[in-house]
Structure 1
Amino acid sequence: MEGLDFYIPASVLVIAFTCKLPGLSRDWRDPLVRAVSVLLLVASSVFFFAAPPTIAAVNHLTGVPNFSAPLVYCILTAFSASCLLLLINWRGGSEDRTRRLSHWCVGTYSTVIVAQIVLFMVGDAPVERLRDFDTYYARTPYIREMVLVYLLAHTAAAVVMTVLCRRWSLHVRGSLRSGLILMVCGFMLNLVFDAAKFAAVGARLAGHDWDVLSTDVAPPVASFSALLIGIGFVLPLLVQRMSASWNTWVTYHRLGPLWRELRGAVPQGCRAVRISWWSPADLRVTQRVADIHDGLLHLDPYFDHRLRDLTREALIAAGSGSGQAEAIAEATMVAAAIRARAADPEEKVIGSADAYTSATAEGPRDLVRISLALRSPLVAQSRRPAASTESSQP
């Protein structure tokens, strides 16, 4: 099918934009979210409206020969502006400076779009050209200027983006640097596209025919550059999201040993309502943490703080770090309390008037470290009956 090389990337970008819609509706006030969404939408529009079948259909529907030319040029100009806007918001900085640069960018490229429309309206382009409009009308007054205005605006954006992305890539690492390098390559290919277009138009002005540069060389260069730029923008955001999701799941699984230890400490009727397995990872972590805190609260009357303090001091004296010693000491106290709770089926300790001292009174606990510390040999000792006797409450 003619134009398939345009419609495939357009479809991919539309799918990407559709995937961003939930985030856009949720965080539409976030300038970065809006900039990414606009970029995806405008980029897909570039490929769709630049396809020869679409150009012919738009010209036919409007009844204006070459109506698609200023339409495609305006969308390309908007794409250049959206790239600059995304980079401005991506880099951050003071809110006033970001707003000022964004307004400058929108104002400048809006002026360019208006100029293109006006130049097309005052010019004369009666013969429909689906692929070689740039070169065919290179010597036509006003139409020539319209082509040059769009190429200059596109080139200026490509130069600015190349310089800024390269400069920024020297100061960052990881996926952000990889994304910026891909963007540098993509915008350098944009400059190749512009050079091919300028050369073909300039050759026409000089009476030569280099149309092949505009019709055969420039389009695939533009497609590949758009692919690199799109990947460059999306890669850091995707890696950041995947990394956050991965860290959440790691936290969820690391909390597993402590959660399983404490499940029996909470009476069946007091346990939280179970959530579905397809629930988001952060929600599952939140519930697991809540379950752990419930278990600690029910075990509070059985906690032997003296055992914890002695264990911590012994570990520090043996050369352990304070964080590790604290975690193992907490885990030892929890394991001993579970054993003591099992030895008190009539709940005599819980029934005492001053039993509860609040499991959170001493400040937050590092639950992940405590959960991992349950594997310590000292914790295993606290599960023995002897340890239970030694750690019983007075």
Structure 2
Amino acid sequence: MKGQDYYIPAAAMAISLAFKLPALRHNWRDPLLRSVCALLILAGAVFTFAAPPTIAAVNRWTGIANFSAPLVYCLITAFSASCLVLIVNWRGGPPEQTRRISRRWILGYGVVIVALIVLFALGEAPEERLRDLDTFYARTPFIREMIVLYLAAHTVAAVVMTAMCWRWSLRVRGWLRLGLTVIVIGYLFNLGYDVTKLTAVFARWTGHDLDHLSTYAAPPIASIGALISAIGFVLPLLCQHLTDNWMAWSTYCRLRTLWQELRAAGSVGTPGVRMPWWSPAELRVIQRESDIHDGFLQLGPYFDQELRAWAYRQAVAADLGEDAARAVADAAMVAAAVRACAADPEGKIIGSSQESVLDTAEGPRDLVRISHALRHSPVVAAARSRAAMAGSSLQ
């Protein structure tokens, strides 16, 4: 593999991290978000420092032949730990138990990192090897143990991650299940990397030469596995974010009919604070809901409970469900109140707004049903006609 084969995945990790940093800045205490960012940083670092040009540069800068070897091995080990910590925080559970398991993985892999550094310091690797250090020094004391240790730690992480994610994927659905399945596929590639590397090392121990497996086959397998795993970690979070945004924008648009109905009656005015065009959909939904509820309060004196009861009976007779019938009844009362308010420009009607006149206990979904009924229900259309006729007779 050439340098760009390493730097392109590293750049992809950096771009993914850039999208996560704003959220991390606002939610620094979120352990899941911290784990995701740590994983992306370490994955990018592994690709960057494992590239042959970087290996040569680090060795030259430090003046120590093969200094990059323990550096890359430590980064791979830290990346393995970050994956385990992320999956533990992602799976959730009692906070104290999650923190305890995370600390154990961090401590265990921290010990491995220290051992890798000590073994490299005790061993001798004077000849610089940019691509085949694992097999070239496979029989060198202490360096041999360092190589086996980092591969063993990586293998343990790959086996644990594959088993945990597979079991978890069988109990969940949706984007999370897809993400976990992708992670399992990625870690099968990682296991392939470990098997390929260990096979080449063991071959050296027995006097055989399978160095090509370690030098040429293992690196692309590792790159593919790391990329797939990273996609699996990011995919559910990204897709959930997009789904939430889509649902928020859908709710915002579907509330438009109800909002316009109240605005036509002057119950909804121009908001005091105009939101910029880049404002998130969730904030826009909150403002629109607030405007609608303010409109309900202003129309309170014109709400006709008898008309609502009539509309409810009509909706039930049309075999609508309970929720739909309530929404139609509320929409009919709102439509009639808008007409009554328009027929009373001087505000001569004396009354008081009814508390809990509109049962929107389920939040925006109830308002969406009312908005839909305002536009499509024949019962609401009939209520408008009745209100218009009543207004004409009063005039």
TM, length-normalised to structure 2: 0.94
Alignment partner of 1:348: what SS?
coil
Listed as ranges, the matches of 1:1-394 within 5 Å are 2-266=2-266, 271-349=271-349, 352=350, 355-358=351-354, 360=356, 363-364=359-360, 366-374=366-374, 375-384=376-385, 387-389=388-390
Larger deviation, residues 68-77 vs 204-213: 204-213
Maintained 8 Å contact 2:340/2:391: no
Q: How many angstroms does 1:370 deviate by? A: 0.5
RMSD: 2.0
Q: How many angstroms does 1:322 deviate by? A: 1.6
Maintained 8 Å contact 1:77/1:153: yes
C-alpha change, 1:391 and 1:226, in structure 2 (3 Å) is: farther
Q: What is the CA deviation profile of residues 229-283 of structure 1, one whole-angstrom value per residue up to 9, with x for unaligned ones?
A: 0111111111111111111011101101000101123368675433223211011
Q: C-alpha separation between the residues in 1 aligned to 2:387 and 2:229?
A: 66
Alignment partner of 1:383: what SS?
helix
Maintained 8 Å contact 1:336/1:391: no
Q: What is the CA deviation profile of residues 276-296 of structure 1, one whole-angstrom value per residue up to 9, with x for unaligned ones?
A: 232110111111111111211
Amino acid in structure 2 at the alignment position of 1:384: S
Amino acid in structure 2 at the alignment position of 1:174: G
Q: What is the CA deviation profile of residues 116-163 of structure 1, one whole-angstrom value per residue up to 9, with x for unaligned ones?
A: 000000111111111111111111110110001001000111111111
Q: What is the CA deviation profile of residues 79-134 of structure 1, one whole-angstrom value per residue up to 9, with x for unaligned ones?
A: 11011111111111122221121111011000000000000001111111111111
Q: How many angstroms does 1:373 deviate by? A: 0.6
Q: C-alpha separation between the residues in 2 aligned to 1:213 and 1:270?
A: 69
Q: How many angstroms does 1:313 deviate by? A: 2.6
Alignment partner of 1:191: what SS?
helix
C-alpha change, 1:391 and 1:54, in structure 2 (3 Å) is: farther
Q: C-alpha separation between the residues in 2 aligned to 1:263 and 1:277?
A: 21
Maintained 8 Å contact 2:14/2:40: yes
Q: C-alpha separation between the residues in 1 aligned to 2:356 and 2:339?
A: 21
Maintained 8 Å contact 2:268/2:291: no
C-alpha change, 1:391 and 1:73, in structure 2 (3 Å) is: farther
Q: C-alpha separation between the residues in 2 aligned to 1:254 and 1:72?
A: 53
Structure 1 unaligned residues grouped into runs of 5+: none
C-alpha change, 1:309 and 1:376, in structure 2 (3 Å) is: same
Alignment partner of 1:29: what SS?
coil
Larger deviation, residues 13-22 vs 167-176: 167-176
Q: What is the CA deviation profile of residues 302-335 of structure 1, one whole-angstrom value per residue up to 9, with x for unaligned ones?
A: 1111110122133224432221111111111111
C-alpha change, 1:269 and 1:174, in structure 2 (3 Å) is: closer
Maintained 8 Å contact 2:116/2:146: yes
Alignment partner of 2:58: what SS?
helix
Q: C-alpha separation between the residues in 2 aligned to 1:332 and 1:128?
A: 82
Alignment partner of 1:356: what SS?
coil
C-alpha change, 1:67 and 1:392, in structure 2 (3 Å) is: farther
Structure 2 unaligned residues grouped into runs of 5+: none
Q: C-alpha separation between the residues in 2 aligned to 1:14 and 1:47?
A: 11
Q: C-alpha separation between the residues in 1 aligned to 2:304 and 2:393?
A: 7
Larger deviation, residues 374-383 vs 32-41: 374-383
Q: C-alpha separation between the residues in 1 aligned to 2:371 and 2:114?
A: 63
Maintained 8 Å contact 1:382/1:388: no
Larger deviation, residues 307-316 vs 322-331: 307-316
Maintained 8 Å contact 1:13/1:43: yes
Q: How many angstroms does 1:367 deviate by? A: 1.0
Maintained 8 Å contact 2:131/2:215: yes
% identical aligned pairs: 57
Q: What is the CA deviation profile of residues 185-242 of structure 1, one whole-angstrom value per residue up to 9, with x for unaligned ones?
A: 1111111111111111111122222110111000000011011101111111111111
Maintained 8 Å contact 1:339/1:388: no
Amino acid in structure 1 at the alignment position of 2:253: H
Maintained 8 Å contact 2:315/2:379: no
Please list every run of at least 4 consecutive aligned residues from structure 1 whose deviation after the TM superposition is greater than 4 angstroms: 267-271, 358-363, 385-388, 390-393
Amino acid in structure 1 at the alignment position of 2:384: R
Amino acid in structure 1 at the alignment position of 2:380: V
Q: C-alpha separation between the residues in 1 aligned to 2:95 and 2:284?
A: 35
Larger deviation, residues 268-277 vs 13-22: 268-277
Maintained 8 Å contact 2:169/2:181: yes
Q: How many angstroms does 1:358 deviate by? A: 4.5
Maintained 8 Å contact 1:339/1:385: no
Larger deviation, residues 256-265 vs 105-114: 256-265
Q: C-alpha separation between the residues in 2 aligned to 1:331 and 1:339?
A: 12
Amino acid in structure 1 at the alignment position of 2:390: T
